Amino acid sequence: MSDHLGENLKLACSHYRSISEVCRQLQINRAQFNKYLGGQSQPTPFNLKRIGDFFGVEDYELGLPPDQFARLIGARASQASVPRNDPLLRLLEPLREQSGNLSRYCGYYFEYSNCMSVPGSILLSLVHLWEEDGSFLFERQERQERSSSTDVQAEDWVRCRYLGAAFQLQDRVFLIDYESLTVNEMSQTILIPSFKSRITRLNGLKTGVSSGDRRTPACTRVVWEYLGLEINRISAYRQVKLYRPDAPRIDDDVRERLNVGPIRNGLFEIE
């Protein structure tokens, strides 16, 4: 097995809420699994097959170069198979037929939004939009810290993975998705298309619910920043988290597009 196993396992685990959850479902000791992640130990052929089956890949694919593995699991974003006569498919078919071609928008984006569950914070998410059999699908990954400690462990992150479909109707791009790890919420994003020859940033609105106990409905402005057709997905994912509006990672253009107001009483306010 290649030396890439640990890095690929980390990326595969990022699709779940925590490494502890993965270990529980795999029924593999957490300490032993950490050795796989750190490259200090290699799984037995039996465990390697179990791990591959769990993540939906072949055991040898876990040893692919990280960029190739990232593209592989991105292309295999789980989509439930449905019969051709499914009434939901019939309902959505006119949308697909009338939708414009979104090929020029395919690729990876950073999404900036005012966090619905932590007011006053900016959430940076990673979005991948791709074409598959004439449909345009996307994946959005988010994560937030449970703990305010500077030493944040893997189990201290709350992860969300949204899967959805995109349509261009008239002069707007509509994206509808659901949270695939818990299947307990949906959101909708509407973006204003770019009419420039080169896509840089797109503005829009997103509606959904906060992750708090009351599941409060909320709406926020969003900014999509185009990264390219191919990226270092692992490096990009490390940037996915909450930021203060005055963090160096958030530039003035993003703050202006999100309409983050001036500092009052030591806090940023959303206008």
- Supply 37's token pair: 């992640």
pLDDT at position 24, please?
A: 87
- Supply 244's token pair: 């203060």
Contact between 36 and 6 under an 8 Å Cβ cutoff? The reply is yes
Do 190 and 265 lie in one domain? The reply is yes
The fraction of the chain above a pLDDT of 90, given in percent, is: 44
Do 53 and 169 lie in one domain? The reply is no
Do 184 and 69 lie in one domain? The reply is no
**Domain assignment of residue 68, yes or no:** yes
Tell me how far apart the alpha carbons of residues 44 and 29 are, in angstroms, rounded to a whole number.
13
Mean pLDDT of the chain: 83
- Supply 9's token pair: 């396992």
Q: Which of 45-54, 71-80, 200-209 is least confident?
A: 71-80
**Domain assignment of residue 222, yes or no:** yes
pLDDT in tens, 195-213: 888 899 999 999 988 766 6
**DSSP calls for 89-152:** HHHHHHHHHHPPP-GGG-EEEEEEEE-SSSTT-EEEEEEEEEEETTEEEEEEEEEEES---SS-
Among residues 178, 179, 175, which one has the least CA distance to residue 188?
175
**Domain assignment of residue 169, yes or no:** yes
**Domain assignment of residue 82, yes or no:** no
Do 226 and 94 lie in one domain? The reply is yes
Final residue of a structural domain among 75, 100, 125: 75
Maximum separation of any 2 CA atoms in the chain, in Å: 59
Do 222 and 153 lie in one domain? The reply is yes
Q: Which residue has the higher pLDDT, 236 or 265?
A: 236
CATH code assigned at 48: 1.10.260.40
Do 29 and 111 lie in one domain? The reply is no
Enclosing domain of residue 125: 87-270
**Domain assignment of residue 80, yes or no:** no
pLDDT in tens, 111-152: 999 998 888 899 999 999 999 878 999 999 998 765 444 443
Tell me how far apart the alpha carbons of residues 157 and 138 are, in angstroms, rounded to a whole number.
22
Mean predicted confidence (pLDDT) in 153-159:
59
Do 128 and 45 lie in one domain? The reply is no
Do 119 and 10 lie in one domain? The reply is no
Contact between 175 and 102 under an 8 Å Cβ cutoff? The reply is no
Do 141 and 197 lie in one domain? The reply is yes
pLDDT in tens, 11-26: 888 878 788 888 988 8
**Domain assignment of residue 81, yes or no:** no
pLDDT in tens, 84-114: 567 888 888 889 889 999 999 999 999 999 9
Domain count for the chain:
2
Q: Check whether 153 has a pLDDT greater than 50.
A: no
Do 180 and 151 lie in one domain? The reply is yes
Helix (H, G, I), strand (E, B) or coil at 216: coil
Final residue of a structural domain among 29, 51, 75: 75
Do 20 and 116 lie in one domain? The reply is no
Do 99 and 70 lie in one domain? The reply is no
CATH code assigned at 244: 2.40.128
Q: Given pLDDT bands bounded at 50, 70 and 90, which one contains residue 154? A: very low
**Domain assignment of residue 200, yes or no:** yes
**Domain assignment of residue 120, yes or no:** yes
Final residue of a structural domain among 27, 44, 75: 75
Interacting residues of 254 by C-beta distance below 8 A, sequence separation 6+: 112, 122, 223, 225
